[in-house]
């Protein structure tokens, strides 16, 4: 009976922890989805002369196709493994 005054504080802390965990979860998902695309952006943004895909007529289009494919693959992977839920 001496610790019953701590219960409301514990409940409030638990709710705050759950909100923090949810925010970190969302930030982790967003980071995981966009880091591979940022990698390709960095590589192709170096402006080297000996990268033939930079002068290719469809290079820009292929970058976006690759980026969308990577994002869709990651989303399907997360959904299939239960990491991405819409509740």
Q: What is the pLDDT along the chain (87 residues), one digit of tens a residue?
A: 555 566 777 778 888 888 999 899 889 989 998 999 999 888 888 877 787 777 888 888 988 999 999 999 998 998 898 887 765
Write down the pLDDT at residue 3: 59
Displacement of CA 29 from its chain's centroid (Å): 3
- What is the distance in angstroms between the CA of the first residue and the CA of the last residue of the chain? 37
State the residue for tokens 């930030």.
Answer: 27
The dihedral formed by the CA atoms of 76, 80, 84 and 87, expressed in degrees to the nearest 10: 120
Write down the pLDDT at residue 2: 54
| Residue 71 phi, psi dihedral angles, 5° rounding | -65, -45
d(CA 82, CA 3): 38
pTM: 0.67
Write down the pLDDT at residue 36: 92
Helix axis angle, 59-80 to 7-44, nearest 10°: 150
């Amino acid at each position: 009976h001496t610790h019953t005054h701590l219960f409301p504080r514990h409940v409030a802390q638990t709710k705050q922890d759950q909100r923090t965990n949810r925010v970190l979860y969302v930030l982790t998902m967003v980071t995981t989805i966009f880091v591979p695309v940022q990698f390709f952006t960095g590589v192709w943004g170096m402006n080297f002369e000996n990268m033939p895909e930079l002068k290719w007529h469809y290079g820009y289009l292929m970058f976006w196709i690759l980026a969308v494919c990577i994002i869709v693959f990651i989303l399907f992977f997360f959904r299939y493994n239960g990491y991405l839920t819409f509740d």
